[in-house]
Structure 1
Amino acid sequence: MKDLWAGRFGSRQLDPQIRAFTSSLELDKRIAKHDVRGSIGHARMLGRQNIVTPEEARALVAGLEQIARDIEADSFPWPADAEDVHSAVERVLRERIGPVAGKLHTARSRNDQIALDLRLFVIDLCDELDRSLRELAVALVERADREVDTVLPGYTHLQRAQPVSLAHVFLAHVEALRRDRQRVAHARERAAISPLGAGALAGTPHPVDPESVARELGLERTFRNSIDAVADRDFVADFLYAAALTAVHASRFAEELVLWTSAEFGFAELSDEHATGSSIMPQKKNADVAELVRGRAGRIVGDLVAVLTTLKGLPLAYDGDLQEQRVPLYDGAIVAPALAALATVVRGLRFDREAMHRATERGMLTATDLADHLARSGVPFREAHEVVGKIVRERLAKGADLAGLTLEELQRHDARFAATALDEIAVEKSLAARTSPGGTAPARVREALAEA
């Protein structure tokens, strides 16, 4: 097969070792359908602009549409010695429709061609990631709806802090996923720019119509600068950033699942269909899905760093280094199925509500309520905090919790304690008292569910 650039090099053939090293064909196969879709749009534009004749345009489009069907059916005859998807498609097109196939590349470079292919691919990745984000968010909201009155310890520093509603915890993760969906939407918007018409870097002397191609491809805008059009890979970094932060959020929730389903916490149990076991320890039930979600987060963060590190040293416009971005970009697709698997696990979780409630009764989780009690009577909160701190220290010395505390004991520390303080440190009362906007009081959580 003659290389697309063979004229410059005469009869000398590219060294097979160098061909194997520089070829991107295997990587390109994943974006082949996008490449052909872009070529069909380009061919139609060539015909509309009379850059090729209407008959030539129809022949090009018909040949490309058949290639698109072959790729979809996994029956496209990939030439083993093709340098990339562009040369492979053009070669097969030439074999099928003749020399007119050589006119397809008029007013186009592989530089603007690959930039378009990747943009169309990233748009698909964004759509897939958004669907998975929504699936996980819906699973969490549905579980939250059943757990408004389920109470468990909220944690800071991984130490029991205050009682919270389990639904409130789920909705906290939904908020992060909501932000992730916004980031994905922004990444999609920035990817939806057509670079066709930029040529290699300087534009083209042919009377091209980039806007009509963009409209046909469903892209919102066209490029403003031909050099930037072929050099820009911000959209790759944008997608990977959105995917990486999504993976980080999924990892945080996955870590909670690992903790909650451990014997040390005992708050939840995985469905048998969603857990794995041990090859040597018969009793084990492992949260492998959650652990793999955590692991993939580290992997996708590395992909983002790889892309940014490559971009930072590149002069304008196109450089071969950009070919290496395909691997981390493709790897970014692993986030969507991870979210979908996590959603399946969420739907199958079983919670031990009694164990959760028991955990709120140890660790003096309602100590802040005592301080708030004094503050409501006019005591400066700093003073109230110190008073309750002394009560906590005394109870710890006795090996006791707040349960069983008497009004006499409270008033020995501060006479301003009223009898209602003993009611206010009950777990359910503490939960119900957190009525501030966005708080964990069941009434507020139900409001949040209605808006979710």
Structure 2
Amino acid sequence: MKMWSSRFKKELDSLANDFNSSIGIDYKMYKEDIMGSMAHANMLCATGIITDDDNSKIQNGLKNILFEIDSGELEINPMAEDIHMFIEEELTERIGDAGKKLHTARSRNDQVSVDIRMYLKAKIESIVIDLKTLIETLIEVAKANLNTVMPGYTHLQVAQPVTFAHHIMAYVQMLTRDISRLIDCYNRMNENPLGSGALATTTYPIDRFKTTELLNFKIPTRNSMDSVSDRDFIVELNFDISMVMLHLSRFSEEIILWASQEFKFIELDDSYSTGSSIMPQKKNPDMAELVRGKSSRVFGNLMATLNLIKALPLSYNKDLQEDKENIFDSIETVEMSILIFNGMMKTLKVNKENMRDKAKRGFINATDLADYLVKKGLPFRDAYKITGNLVSYCVDKNISLEELSMEELTNFSDLFEADVYKYIDLDYILSQRNVYGGPSPDAVKKQILDTKAYVDTLQIK
């Protein structure tokens, strides 16, 4: 029999009961539900609403239930309506009338709101830790490749020389922004809705600041109607996770390209690759492909949550029961994706010579050759035209700019001198791009130091 069934003359249809039940999803919040109930009972006792004896029974009963669920001794009943009812019913069965007093001055509306906030706060803390670990891995890869020359691309066409370290650090910057967004989201959801009741608080003399302190929230929420209907923080977290997955998906795309036979920039470790059932030579970048593919699930969860909320009147509506499945799926997806990506990056092999060779063959130093002529006094557009003609000449001859003889160079301009070979050397070019944020080894070293210092400041407080 449902705790709310006294108003009704008929029992809920069995199919309707299954449709109404959320225990298959919200059971994950059992710990938060118990912790929230313990804080609520302590507050009820502190304000004189329940006795010390009743509170003692509630606290001990809830602690035992938590221990037994954690240990596997107590199984959560899949036939229960939700995790809140399961725990309250289990408590009442164990301690009798004292258990029936737990829900005084509380509704499931503010109860579920506090549970989900506590659960998501803990998940954000975990995701931030995992992202920082991934950043540490990527920085180590960057430090090992400060002098690994590779082509930088625009439009997927060879553009200018960079280093593998500089390329990797571009993704590190994206991930640092992700951490910053997650912390901002944490701070916005760090408000306690408990005590808001169904929508209009209660006539009992409760102390919302007491439960706020006990549950480690920053402040109580300011409006009871908003408190029970607000799911902005779930939308925001879904967006923040979507951004993480977007960045990992972009990175995955490059990993897939780099690991191909056409690029051969990297080789993925066997432990993060799979084979073909019919083609024995294949080594597939399935982990990167799955991260790229799973990003679409997370984006879908974001859109589903937005659509869930867009037309809901104040205050609580049963539609909001659907909020948890989407965000829980997004969390589990991003957690696994970060761990997989970290292992994949830790174990990959960088084919430095292939990267350098591709850079040489892509006329990646053409801009620097034009700049050389500009420094000799030629207008840039004239220098650009001469360099373009030289590139066309090299294409016909199947050679690189570095392989041009002095005679060939002076056929195009008498401004060329022997020092030109220094100016179009890839290592020299990179060393000269020493602008803050640039790809020179020294600039990337500075970027690494500054990024590590910045990441250290990204703390949940």
Q: What range is the shorter-chain TM-score in?
A: over 0.9
Aligned residue among 242, 255, 259 for 2:257: 259
Point out 4+ residue stretches in structure 1 off by more than 6 angstroms. none
Structure 1: tracts of 5 or more residues without a match:
none
SS of residue matched to 2:434: coil
Q: What does residue 336 of structure 1 align with? A: 335
> Which residue identity is paired with 1:314?
L
Alpha-carbon distance, 1:277 to partner: 1.4
Q: What does residue 427 of structure 2 align with? A: 428
Q: What does residue 348 of structure 1 align with? A: 347
Deviates more, 1:265-274 or 1:177-186: 265-274
Distance in structure 1 (CA, Å) of the matches to 2:249 and 2:79: 42
2:295 maps to 1:305: no
Encode CA deviations 1:132-152: one digit per residue, 9 max, x unaligned: 111111111111111111111
Q: What does residue 4 of structure 2 align with? A: 5
Encode CA deviations 1:208-261: one digit per residue, 9 max, x unaligned: 111111111111121011111011111111111111100111111111111111
Distance in structure 2 (CA, Å) of the matches to 1:280 and 1:164: 39
> Which residue identity is paired with 2:318?
G
SS of residue matched to 2:320: helix
Distance in structure 2 (CA, Å) of the matches to 1:372 and 1:438: 20
Q: What does residue 447 of structure 1 align with? A: 446
SS of residue matched to 2:401: coil
Once the two structures are aligned, what percentage of the paired residues are identical?
Answer: 39
2:145 maps to 1:147: yes
Q: What does residue 192 of structure 1 align with? A: 190
Q: What does residue 209 of structure 2 align with? A: 211
Change (3 A) 1:78 1:423: closer
Distance in structure 2 (CA, Å) of the matches to 1:320 and 1:422: 72
Mapped contact 1:193–1:223 kept (Cα < 8 A): yes
Q: What does residue 391 of structure 1 align with? A: 390
Alpha-carbon distance, 1:411 to partner: 4.4
Aligned length: 450
Change (3 A) 1:80 1:391: closer
Mapped contact 1:395–1:401 kept (Cα < 8 A): yes
* TM-score, normalising length: structure 1: 0.95
Q: What does residue 368 of structure 2 align with? A: 369
SS of residue matched to 1:365: coil
Change (3 A) 1:22 1:382: farther
Encode CA deviations 1:85-120: one digit per residue, 9 max, x unaligned: 111111111110002211111111100000111101
Alpha-carbon distance, 1:269 to partner: 1.1
Mapped contact 2:24–2:78 kept (Cα < 8 A): no
Q: What does residue 228 of structure 1 align with? A: 226
Alpha-carbon distance, 1:417 to partner: 4.2
Distance in structure 2 (CA, Å) of the matches to 1:24 and 1:446: 51
Distance in structure 2 (CA, Å) of the matches to 1:159 and 1:53: 74
Distance in structure 1 (CA, Å) of the matches to 2:201 and 2:122: 27
Alpha-carbon distance, 1:176 to partner: 0.8
Q: How does 1:11-410 map to 2 (within 5 A)?
A: 11-333=9-331, 334-410=333-409
* TM-score, normalising length: structure 2: 0.94
Deviates more, 1:372-381 or 1:350-359: 372-381
Change (3 A) 1:343 1:424: same
Mapped contact 1:201–1:227 kept (Cα < 8 A): yes
Mapped contact 1:407–1:422 kept (Cα < 8 A): no
Distance in structure 1 (CA, Å) of the matches to 2:416 and 2:223: 71
Change (3 A) 1:44 1:393: same
> Which residue identity is paired with 1:37?
M
Structure 2: tracts of 5 or more residues without a match:
453-461
Alpha-carbon distance, 1:415 to partner: 4.2
Mapped contact 1:135–1:340 kept (Cα < 8 A): no
Encode CA deviations 1:274-320: one digit per residue, 9 max, x unaligned: 22112222111111111111111111111111111111111111111
Distance in structure 1 (CA, Å) of the matches to 2:449 and 2:393: 43
SS of residue matched to 2:402: coil
Mapped contact 1:109–1:199 kept (Cα < 8 A): yes
Alpha-carbon distance, 1:59 to partner: 1.4
Indicate the RMSD between aligned Cα atoms, in angstroms.
1.6
Alpha-carbon distance, 1:442 to partner: 1.0
